[in-house]
Structure 1
Amino acid sequence: MRESICAMLCFFLVAVGCKLKTQNSDKVIKVKEINGYEGVSIDKVSQLLEERAAIHSINILNWDNYSYMPAVSFRIAHSNNEIWLKYYVEEKSIMATVADTNGAVHKDSCVEFFFDPLGDGNYYNFEFNCIGTTHLAFGGGRSDRQFLAPETIEASIRVQSSLGTQVFTERTADHSWEMTVVIPANTLSHNPGIKLKGLSAKGNFYKCGDATSEPHYLSWNPIKTENPDFHRPEFFGNLVFE
């Protein structure tokens, strides 16, 4: 009898351990390659993502004090050594007050892509408010960031938002918007010559709005910190470029 109880207890502990391991494991996206479309318009990029890339949700509420959860999803693919992204957002209010490249876009209605190409803890934080104003820096943590030059960002990265490009103060009531982003690999200036095809990288995808009437902080891969902090590469998921 005693041996049976011990065996059952061991089985239970192993099962719980396996469940916890599964729950805590990092997510994985196989980033599809889309061939044969060099130099296409951003409208075509949007269409191809719709047709050929899987959709993923940004729906992790990591912090109890920020319970508002907009509906947010995205698609990602790569083509001709470019990263293609498309975000879909439905939220109660929208705001776009920042027009200057590398400005504090996280205070507006904002989507973000943090990308660690080599999986070594050094990452790029691509941040876009809902009219496409871009913030981009590189480094190994929140306090160790090097901004990329605005002229480089503006010349290299293509962004198209369904909300246009003009700033506006907060608009309440329900809103939905979409954004398509094209990031050439040569924008990754701290990794010269990098090739996306076959790359095993790390990253996370976010939705935030620090200065909106309902501040929120959502992520694709869970973040286990006491307070909101997206600059935590140890909680990035896995991005496998086919």
Structure 2
Amino acid sequence: MKEVYAPFIPGTYNKNSLNELSVLLDKEEKHAIDNLLWSDIGYFPSVDFSIAHADNHIALKYFVREQHTSAKYTAANDPVYKDSCVEFFVGFGSDDKYYNLEFNAIGTALVGFGKDRNGRTPVPDDKVNSIQALSIINWTNDPGGFNTWELTLLIPFDLFIYHDIKTLKETTGRANFFKCGDDLPEPHFISWNNIVSPVPDFHLSGFFGTIKFI
């Protein structure tokens, strides 16, 4: 299984400092989401991410290049996986349950908690709306070309309502990172850590990699 290290970045960040945070994440190591799953059509968007943590937040940035981009959903806990979607699944400590954080290209978020795909508990909308997002989309004029977009996310520890997180320094968890788009002209499923399954399912936590907050 893969490992990803999330370094600590000093400072206090909020919605007014997302541009600064975006620049900081540009300087961190980028990790490829490059396991194309359950597809043989050859369409393979390019996706990378960088991740860090601060005093009260996880900072996460996605870098996407794809031919088809959609961002129809605008309300918390809408089914953003039908849009151009990037995802972060994370479990803390020894807990076998985990959070699924899913975002479309404009930063609309869906968040749930549970042990597997079935019976997940939605995180309340007000907590989901506390995630701050900065989206930059560059649309191509070429019908056969590729759109590029970046999504910077500031995720407060308070979002993780089933855990009392005061700091993530020197802690280890389980995580996977994804790209999908169920209703796009070219549906696709891409993961950071590989998944072995005969059917599409991101919720197989046995295939999560390790995340170390340093």
Q: TM-score if structure 2 supplies the norm length?
A: 0.92
Q: CA deviation at 1:191?
A: 0.4
Could you tell me which residue of structure 1 aligns to residue 179 of structure 2? 207
The match for 1:174 among 146, 149, 152 is 146
Identity rate, percent: 38
Provide the C-alpha distance between the structure 2 equivalents of 1:102 and 1:190, rounded to a whole number of angstroms: 17
Alignment of 1:98-137 (within 5 A): 98-137=73-112
SS of alignment partner, residue 231 of structure 1: coil
> Does the CA-based 8 Å contact 1:126-1:136 persist in structure 2?
yes
Question: Which entry has the higher C-alpha Rg, 1 or 2?
Answer: 1
Q: Which residue of 2 aligns with 1:49?
A: 25
95-104 or 56-65, which deviates more:
56-65
Aligned residue in 2 for 1:31:
6
Residue 151 of structure 1 is aligned with which of 126, 140, 146?
Answer: 126
For the residue of structure 2 that corresponds to 1:162, the secondary structure is: strand
Alignment RMSD = 1.7
State the shift of 1:179 in Å.
0.3
Counterpart of 2:162 in structure 1 is 190
The answer as to whether partners of 2:177 and 2:191 remain within 8 angstroms in 1 is: yes
Q: Which runs of 5+ in 1 are unaligned?
A: 1-25, 165-170
The residue number in structure 1 matching 2:49 is 74
1:21 aligns with none
Amino acid at match of 1:189: I
Query: How many residues end up aligned between the 2 structures?
Result: 208
- For residues 38-92 of structure 1, give each alpha carbon's deviation from its aligned partner in whole angstroms, at most 9, with x where no partner exists: 13501111111112x1100000013244642101001001111311011000001
Change (3 A) 1:197 1:212: same
Report Cα offsets for 1:195-239 as digits up to 9, x if no partner. 211111000000000100000000000001111110111100000
Q: Is the CA contact 1:93–1:173 (under 8 Å) kept in the aligned structure 2?
A: no
Q: Which residue of 2 aligns with 1:84?
A: 59
CA distance in 2, matches of 1:112, 1:89: 12
Q: Do 2:39 and 2:188's aligned partners in 1 also have CA atoms closer than 8 Å?
A: no
CA contact (8 A) 1:60 1:219 kept: yes
- The verdict on how the C-alpha distance between 1:88 and 1:229 changes in structure 2, with shifts beyond 3 A counting, is same
Residue pair 1:121, 1:234 contacting (<8 A) in 2 also = no
Contact in 2 for aligned 1:67/1:216 (Cα 8 Å): no
1:226 aligns to 2:198 (yes or no): yes
8 A Cα contact 1:185 1:196, kept in partner = no
Report the equivalent of 1:138. 113
Which has more helix, going by share of residues?
A: 1
| Residue type at the aligned position of 1:48 | L
Secondary structure at 1:144 match in 2: coil
Mapped to 2, the partners of 1:59 and 1:39 lie a distance apart of: 30
- Contact (CA 8 Å) 1:141, 1:232: kept in 2 or not? yes
